[in-house]
Structure 1
């Protein structure tokens, strides 16, 4: 093989490599080119979901004591005022007996033949007699003195006795009214204390506040209970709510009756519709999120507390919108085209697509940037 043949052979190989490379680049570029498409687009807010019974609450005992007996078990159906548990505590009974004794004493002091008020009335009667006598003596002496009979010392002495008797009567009458008010107040307080003691002594049975189902029992018979620890969890038996955790960035987009699309792990592939029922205004510190309640439009036939899943709260919908995939949109709302970067105005967004309001049309080829 001569030198010219070798050079020609190498030239053909290089030319083939260049052509193949350009063809590959062109093919890859064509693969990355797409055109905006018109489609229905939905903007939504994602959230995890936990299923809970409607009106779920914790039942507490109002007194401390020993859990003597449970009248229900987990899964039991209950009605309003049905007994849940019996609590044994002797302290309220003793308080009731003591309150009765205090009330009897207060009643006797206030309404009975007690010496407190009767002695005061006797003192008041004696003071009135003394005042009457001193008044007669004083005015008689004053009249004599006007006739220049008697001495000035005797007049002043009887005047002083009269004034002292009058002041003494006033003080006794004030003391009587004050003592009567104090006894009346003590009597009413004793009545209230007895009513409270009777209420507490009867409040040994924890009852259901709603018609529903017992979902959990947190204590055992024989355990010590107090007013700070729940005895049972009770909620509606056939009505459930969905607890959604919404980020603070998205909570301002929430409103009642918004449509919610729900999937549950227990019902793989099934899509359920619902709507927002309640928005809690206080952010939970534990989850650092806002809680939103939603309800099913048509719930699954079987639901259990604690079932989990996902939800998308529909914020906005638009039909026949011009869209591009989100990964074709660059920073500062720009899109790469055959003619370079183009500024666009965007509208609705979801996980996959973004709406283009201006800057592109359905005939503009766009390129995915590396």
Structure 2
């Protein structure tokens, strides 16, 4: 009798242990999405570079500081360029003095022109008077020729002095413009020794300390938007053709584990990363979280398509060959839309069909 009870209990336990999970198909909204890894980056983020090499003299801002476009970020030692600028300024001032000052070279030539002009006027009067006498057959031919020669020599000297004045003025003005250009160039060079912000934003990184050697190849820091952030996502190459600009994206961040944020795809980069075999896309938040930092990580699901009121079953109830198991046996179904959790059933079963979970 005791053995019979034990056998009955064993059979009952065995039958209970073999009881399988069941489910009925349900009408529901089915959403298909593409998975992506997520990294948060400030909009307009760029690395700071210098166009000159030298020793870093001073960092004028700190990480986290807000800056405006044109604000000085850091300064490189510029003593040698300043000396060149000072020398160029002295040359410019000297050139201006030669053209415009009281002791200008042109002033001396103007004085010479004035003297020659007086002599020319006097010789012109004497020649005119002598010519009138000669026309009246008064005076000698020798006197006439002498006055005429003096007049012609004075006229020629006046032309030469005027030409000299014009040539010298042109040369001096050209040298003054060259001096201006040289001084402007030195000012540009000095400006290059101060690195300025290209945007209104926040300083996210300063990578060099005063006294360190800097060059044109290494970044000195990073600046980006203080308020606008973008979502950088990596998409597997098998999914990239499904993604379109404007598609809704659901984002979860490790820093906000209990919240789901909505965003929209804003940009698709056409170049594939050969190392990771992924494509990069960007999305923008519909409503930006209260606090964000560069580098925050998370996950994203890009909604590819949606269907309302479709017959669905859990994806784990679908077997190979699009078969499902019912109480009457295996039945083949026609499937449609699917995602990681559910699959659409087009035909083969109804909402009243009881399904058994396949044996593992």
Q: TM-score range by the shorter chain?
A: 0.5 to 0.7
Give 1:345 deviation, angstroms. Answer: 2.2
The Cα of 1:216 is off from its aligned counterpart by 0.7
Cα pair 1:260 1:312 within 8 Å, conserved: yes
Which of 319, 328, 346 aligns to 2:308? It is 319
1:332-351 to 2 correspondences below 5 Å: 332-351=321-340
Distance 1:51 1:214 in 2: 16
C-alpha RMSD over aligned residues: 3.3
Distance in 2, matches of 1:70 and 1:18, equals 80
Deviation of residue 232 (structure 1)? 1.5
Instruction: Verify the 8 A CA contact 1:44 1:315 in the aligned structure 2.
Output: yes
Quote the Cα distance in structure 2 between the aligned partners of 1:97 and 1:332: 85
**1:54-93 residue pairs with structure 2 within 5 A?**
54-88=43-77
Residue of structure 2 aligned with 1:41, choices 30, 45, 70: 30
Match 1:264 to one of 238, 241, 253: 253
Q: CA offset at residue 221 of structure 1?
A: 1.1
Aligned to 1:355: 344
1:11 deviation in Å?
A: 9.4
Alignment partner of 2:295 out of 306, 315, 324: 306
Residue 280 of structure 1: which of 259, 269, 294 is its match?
269
Q: Deviations over 1:153-195 (max 9, x none)?
A: xxxxxxxxxxxxxxxxxxxxxxxxxxxxxxxxxxxxx99x978
**Residues 1:218 and 1:367: Cα distance change in structure 2 (over 3 Å):** same
Partner secondary structure for residue 245 of structure 2: coil
Q: Map of 1:178-257 to 2, 5 A cutoff?
A: 199-257=188-246
1:259 and 1:274 in contact (8 A); partners too: yes
- The structural deviation recorded for 1:332 is 2.4
Contact 1:316–1:348 under 8 Å retained in 2: no
Alpha-carbon spacing, 1:366–1:221, altered in 2? closer, same or farther (3 Å):
same
* CA distance 1:35–1:83, shift in 2 (3 Å): same
Deviating more after overlay: 241-250 vs 348-357 = 348-357
Counterpart-to-counterpart distance in 2, 1:18 and 1:71: 81
- 1:236-277 per-residue CA deviation (whole Å, 9 max, x = no partner) reads 111111111111111111111111112222223112111111
TM-score (norm 1): 0.64
For structure 2, which runs of at least 5 residues remain unmatched after alignment? 89-177
Alignment partner of 1:330: what SS?
coil
CA offset at residue 19 of structure 1? 5.9
SS at match of 2:255: helix
Count of residues paired in the alignment: 270
Tell me by how many angstroms 1:14 deviates. Answer: 8.7
Q: The residue matched to 1:61 in structure 2 has which SS?
A: coil
CA contact (8 A) 1:87 1:205 kept: yes
Other-structure match for 1:20: 12
TM-score normalised by the chain length of structure 2: 0.66
